A and B are shown apart, each in its own frame.
Chain A
């Protein structure tokens, strides 16, 4: 899933500006941003509440409405709220970067204000903690690294083993982050599959990643 976090409210307020009496629509997403605890029903309700409080404090006279879409990334769902968008002066998207763009594409006459900083493709680790797992390189080889993507989960994306800064299983950047290569090592050790000499992995073909240009994926018929 996509992991994101809500922008600080001050940033959203500053994007909205101080126009008086405007109608604001906050659009959340029932999909990834709900799981991310960043843009689901509850977060939409909270943002509407906080923006209303700001409006009252500053005597801006804003009217604010919130709703969520099943999946903001799909235009078949964004189209459903055409009337709400038409009846608003400003739209804040609490979808991920994909959702916000889908809103922009559906409503090109509207400036869609992103309320989410989209971070990565990852998974919930424990309540409220999400970890990056995949970088979308376009050519998955995790079967060769014990099911761990070291491109996404090593700070340097190393493909042949840990850097010298991996100490006691932790990354040199953040002591709370596991070294991806240490995880690979312990899993292979547990399986009894540690090689005598780890075969050098040649330079990767990045042509199917973003380096190869903007990607269009077509499903088979």
Chain B
């Protein structure tokens, strides 16, 4: 079993991390995935491969992660609790590790009613905290959750999601503390647009020493149009886009350029905050934006 998580090494060295998100296509062709991944290659330290996000059936996160590896891109394989029970999850993780995947992001998953199979039965055998507990046991004790020994245990870097804009803030922070207690090594946050509210959250996170126990990687979404911003507000539960952002986009001659400027400013702002371990760029179909943001902010992945 070769190789450990590069993400984990960089986090432990305190290097500023850039992660980027690849949404697999609704396609059975590797080329369609590779085309998306290629546009981001070289701009991030690790790449999240989403697991049927918004409950839309897409090419699997395991397959996408393997394709990333083949392209020399370190994947963060996302696994949601909506579609798999503990048997399938553990089996997938053993298989993923055998294929070279070292990073897992544990998520509850968007409810199927938001997706393209609203009639589906969901699983939710475990929740994301319990998912973390299971993968920790596999990694730390070399055992399956049921107790059986694993011949060659996986060595995983395990992360979770957190929403700095959930209300009431204390309730959502308690959930984050719960995931931290379960053993999450990093957190990727919901996209940040409201800097003041993010700063308040970050201050809270520092007070609770979250940043000392887990890398906080801050979510960034470049908005291409006002419509994209409004779509986020209406369709992504828990998103907070302040009026000032909407105004800047609507009054800009070139909204896409303005959207990139806003995202770049957000990156600069959050990266100057104490305790921020990195940024996580979610380009949402605007794959070229990742490279442009890296160029604008002068960030370079520590390849």
Given contacts A156-B122, A167-B166, A199-B181, contact A162 B129 (CB under 8 A): no
Q: When A and B form their complex, what is the total count of cross-chain residue pairs whose Cβ atoms lie within 8 Å?
A: 111
- Decide yes or no whether B70 CB sits under 8 A from chain A: no
Whether the pair B163, A173 counts as a contact (CB closer than 8 A) is no
Task: From B81, B126, B127, B178, name the one whose CB has the most chain A CB atoms within 10 angstroms.
Answer: B127
A28 vs B111: C-alpha distance when bound (angstroms): 36
- Decide yes or no whether A194 CB sits under 8 A from chain B: yes
Given contacts A172-B238, A197-B181, contact A182 B111 (CB under 8 A): no
Could you list 22 examples of A-B contacts with CB < 8 Å? Answer: A155-B111, A156-B81, A156-B109, A156-B111, A156-B124, A157-B124, A157-B127, A159-B130, A160-B127, A162-B175, A164-B190, A167-B237, A172-B238, A185-B170, A185-B174, A194-B174, A197-B174, A199-B181, A200-B130, A200-B132, A203-B125, A203-B133
Instruction: Name the B residues within 8 Å of A156 (CB-CB).
Output: 81-82, 108-109, 111, 122, 124, 127
- Chain A nearest Cβ from B115, distance in angstroms: 12
Binding site for A on B (CB under 8 A): 81-82, 86, 108-111, 113, 122, 124-130, 132-134, 145, 161-163, 166-168, 170-172, 174-175, 177-182, 190, 237-238
Among A159, A173, A182, point to the contact of B127 (Cβ < 8 A): A159
Among B82, B111, B161, B174, point to the contact of A161 (Cβ < 8 A): B174
A173 vs B237: C-alpha distance when bound (angstroms): 9
A166 and chain B: residue at smallest CB distance? B166
A163 vs B86: C-alpha distance when bound (angstroms): 19
Binding site for B on A (CB under 8 A): 155-169, 172-173, 181-182, 185, 194-204, 206
- Chain A nearest Cβ from B54, distance in angstroms: 11
Whether the pair A203, B238 counts as a contact (CB closer than 8 A) is no
Task: From B174, B180, B181, name the one whose CB has the most chain A CB atoms within 10 angstroms.
Answer: B174
A195 vs B173: C-alpha distance when bound (angstroms): 11
Interface secondary structure of A, over-half rule: loop
- Chain A nearest Cβ from B217, distance in angstroms: 15
Whether the pair A203, B122 counts as a contact (CB closer than 8 A) is no
Whether the pair A201, B129 counts as a contact (CB closer than 8 A) is yes
Whether the pair B145, A172 counts as a contact (CB closer than 8 A) is no
Instruction: Name the A residues within 8 Å of B179 (CB-CB).
Output: 160, 200
Whether the pair B175, A160 counts as a contact (CB closer than 8 A) is yes
Whether the pair B125, A166 counts as a contact (CB closer than 8 A) is no
- Chain A nearest Cβ from B125, distance in angstroms: 7
B176 and chain A: residue at smallest CB distance? A161
Instruction: Name the A residues within 8 Å of B110 (CB-CB).
Output: 165
- Chain B nearest Cβ from A109, distance in angstroms: 34
Given contacts A162-B166, A164-B238, contact A203 B126 (CB under 8 A): yes
A194 vs B174: C-alpha distance when bound (angstroms): 9
B80 and chain A: residue at smallest CB distance? A156
A56 vs B81: C-alpha distance when bound (angstroms): 53
Given contacts A164-B161, A172-B237, contact A200 B166 (CB under 8 A): no
A163 vs B123: C-alpha distance when bound (angstroms): 15
Give me 20 other A-B pairs in contact (C-beta within 8 A), A172-B238, A195-B174, A200-B129 excluded. Answer: A156-B82, A156-B122, A158-B108, A159-B130, A160-B182, A161-B171, A161-B174, A162-B166, A162-B171, A166-B166, A166-B237, A169-B167, A172-B237, A182-B168, A182-B171, A194-B170, A194-B174, A199-B178, A203-B133, A204-B126
Instruction: Name the B residues within 8 Å of A197 (CB-CB).
Output: 174, 177-178, 180-181
A159 and chain B: residue at smallest CB distance? B127
- Chain B nearest Cβ from A153, distance in angstroms: 13
Instruction: Name the B residues within 8 Å of A195 (CB-CB).
Output: 174
Whether the pair A160, B124 counts as a contact (CB closer than 8 A) is no
Whether the pair A163, B108 counts as a contact (CB closer than 8 A) is yes
Given contacts A157-B124, A200-B130, A203-B86, contact A164 B174 (CB under 8 A): no
- Chain A nearest Cβ from B98, distance in angstroms: 23
B110 and chain A: residue at smallest CB distance? A165
Instruction: Name the B residues within 8 Å of A172 (CB-CB).
Output: 111, 237-238
Whether the pair B127, A158 counts as a contact (CB closer than 8 A) is yes
Instruction: Name the A residues within 8 Å of B134 (CB-CB).
Output: 203
B108 and chain A: residue at smallest CB distance? A163
Whether the pair A164, B181 counts as a contact (CB closer than 8 A) is no
Whether the pair A161, B86 counts as a contact (CB closer than 8 A) is no
- Chain B nearest Cβ from A188, distance in angstroms: 10
